[in-house]
Every structure is written in structure tokens, then in C-alpha cells.
Homo-oligomer: A and B are copies of this chain.
Amino acid sequence: MDREVINSSVPSHWYNLNADFPEPLPPALHPGTREPLGPEDLAPLFPMALIMQEVSTERYIEIPDEVRSIYAKWRPSPLLRARRLEQALGTEARIYYKYEGVSPAGSHKPNTAIPQAWYNREEGITRLTTETGAGQWGASLALACALLGMTCEVWQVRSSYDSKPYRRQQMEVYGSACHPSPSDLTESGRAMLAKDPDTPGSLGMAISEAVEVAANDPQAHYSLGSVLNHVMLHQSVIGQELLVQLETAGEAQADMVFGCVGGGSNLGGLSFPLIGQNLREGTTTEVVACEPSACPTITEGEYRYDFGDVAGLTPLLKMHTLGSDFVPPPIHAGGLRYHGMAPMVSHAVNLGLMSAIAVDQDDAFAAGVQFARTEGIIPAPESTHAVAGAVEYAKRAAADEVIVIGLSGNGVLDLPAYQGYTG
């Protein structure tokens, strides 16, 4: 009988696409001087090891033993053959999915939360702060801090804090504090509340609160769950495993890879090792970024320097952007509601190393329901965008094409989002 799960071992190194880009990545700029950022500009918020990873052009960076031993609690994440989906679609292409929902937090986010917490602890930091929207990132950092004996404080956008209690409760089980943002615990929060006591909050405001607390406590640092180069690096465990698993499955290469993109960390982690192989060894894997048509950062945005936040306090990043004041509509795939894109993903698109499509929410959920009923796993709303891209492609794929879906997480805590799509 076929083994449907193809395993490998946990990679020993992360892969860094900055070693193989045919042109170097445009640097981040200081928001005041517009000069390239130096390490000292980031030192108040991040440990030096992560700052060095942020600017590194080394191809492989060793994963610390303790980080690997925690990864090994759920990694390698399984690569599964989607035979029942193939049958339902009547395709002769072979469809696989790389499933990150097996992590204790239910998504790919712990892949970077664990090393971020670890490098901070190595440099004497005992407390991390961050912001979270729906809560996937907050829960992942809370998990990392629990396992590494650190404390974690999360500012969650008030509207999510009130309407989605499960993720907050998850953070609390892990021993973290979760505050609704804006809160009366910070200067910026108090100012916001004075202006509008009933504000539902925003990710931009939550960032300001988390950064303020970290900047004022020498034992604390701030942690970011996507966009930055060191986050793409940590997520490369996904694609590193995928390369080995495809070989184990007897596939010469993935012909098409579909992943969802919000900030870009899941798709970057999944695809960069394969793009690197294209550049070094001449494989011809095509990578398709699947973004929501309600927030079409790559397909409709401009490629230029822009701020990462609404207030214009972050460094300037060269990226695809809808403008830092763009407010995406409240789609269910909260993790894809970001005006910008990871600079490394944007650079890869700009160099023609990957392409992008926009997917309507209705099509995404229809594909998610079909996937659940054939493969059994209910995809996260974010991941349904990748499923929809792959399903649409598979209908016209040639026989023997190899299609890989990046299934970034499960939708167990997003089940209410499926209502209206299950008929």
C-alpha cells in the first residue's frame, strides 16, 4: 500500500535566497535619513543574531540544536499526496500538499517564533512583546516563550480580542498576557483611547504599543511574525523539507507551487529553497503567489519604497504595496490583510522568479470545502487561496505534472468563517 505521508528529517540548516538572487535585495532605509539602515538602528528592538541574519548573504545558516529539537516535536511537517482531490478534479496531474497545520499552534508561525525567542534568550532577553490580529502569531510566540522559559506580552486588536476569544485563551494557557489594543498600559494606547474610547483598534496601533513597551524595558525585545528577511530564513525549513520529500516520493521536481501570501513568510519559506535550486541547478519550478483579490498587493500594488505601518514609524522597505494607508476590507483570511509584501518576495516577483494571482474569497472557500471533503483537513481561510489557485490550474494541467500546495494552517479556529460556503 502507498504511504500517503512522505517524511524526511528536520533540516540542519536554513536556506537564504539572498545568497542566490541574481541582483542584490534593495536595502531597508532609515525613515528619517532615507539612508540604508545599519545594525545599530535595529538594536533597541532585536537581538544582534537576528539583525545579522537580516542582512546575511550566506546561503546556509545552521539551525541551533535546541531549536531543532523543538521543531522535531512536529517537523518534518508531512507532505501528503492529494489522491482524493485529484480524483474529484479528474486530473492526471499529481497534487501534493505540504501541511503546516500539525504545529501546536496550527500554522507555520512557530517556525520563526521558536528561533526568534531562542536568539533573544541567548542575548539575555527575558521578555518579548508583539502585536497580533486574529491571534495566530500571538499564540505562536506565546508557545515559543512557554517552551523557552520566557515571558510574552501580546497586544491584540480589540475587535478580535472581543470577538475571537479562543486564540487569547490559547496564549493564556501558554502563560502569556494578552491585552486588548489600544490598552491603558502604554502612552500610545492611552492617547488613542483618549481620542476614541470605543475604537475597535488596529494592527498599526497594536504595533506601536508592543514596540513602546519593548523600547522602554532593557530586558525586553519586540518580535515580528512576517515580512522581514530573518523570518523568511526561518520559514525556509518548509521548502528544505519539501525538496527531500519530493525526492523521496520519486519526483524530479515540483512543476508548480501554489502558496498564499499576506506578509509573505509562508510562501517565502515554502518556495525560496526551490527557487534557489532553479537558479543554481536549472530546475524549472514555477511559483505562484495566491493573494486575496480584496487585498491585491502584488497584482495591483506598486513596487516602491514604503512604510511597514500606518504611522510611518518603521524603516522604509522596497516592496509591492497598496500604500501604507490602505485599509483592506474585513475578509475572513485575516492573515492576508496587509498593505505591503515581504521585500524578498517582492524582489523575487520583480526579477521574474515567481508570479502572482488574485483569488476571490468565494472561490477560495469553495476550494476549501472541496479540499475538506476530499482530503479531510479543513484549510485555514488563508490557505484556501493556495488551494483555489492549484485547483484551477490542475483542471488544465498536463498529465504527470507535479503540483504542490502550501497548506499554511488548519481552519479549526476559523470554522465560523466557512458559514455560508457549506451548502
Contacts and interface: CB of A to CB of B under 8 A. Distances in A.
Interface of A: 1-5, 7, 9-10, 65, 68-70, 72-74, 80, 83-84, 102, 104, 106, 143, 146-147, 165-166, 169-170, 172-175, 369, 372-378, 412-413, 415-416, 418-419, 422
Given A146-B376, A422-B175, A5 B169 contact: no
Contacts of A10: 1
A376 B104 contact: yes
Closest 7 pairs between A and B when the two form their complex, measured CB to CB:
A169-B415, A104-B376, A146-B373, A172-B422, A4-B72, A166-B415, A104-B377
Given A1-B72, A3-B9, 10 more contacts: A2-B69, A5-B73, A5-B74, A69-B83, A73-B376, A165-B415, A165-B416, A166-B415, A169-B419, A173-B369
A422 B169 CA distance: 9
A271 to B, nearest CB: 24
Contacts of A377: 73, 104
Contact of A169 (B1, B83, B175, B418): B418
Contact of A69 (B4, B7, B416): B4
A43 to B, nearest CB: 30
B104 A175 contact: no
B68 A147 contact: no
Contacts of A106: 412
Given A173-B369, A173-B415, A147 B4 contact: no
A178 to B, nearest CB: 11
A80 B73 contact: yes
Given A84-B147, A166-B412, A72 B173 contact: no
A173 B422 contact: yes
Most chain B beta carbons < 10 A, residue from A104, A165, A418: A104
Given A104-B377, A374-B147, A376-B104, A418 B2 contact: no
B415 A170 contact: yes
A413 B172 CA distance: 15
A167 to B, nearest CB: 8
A106 B101 CA distance: 11
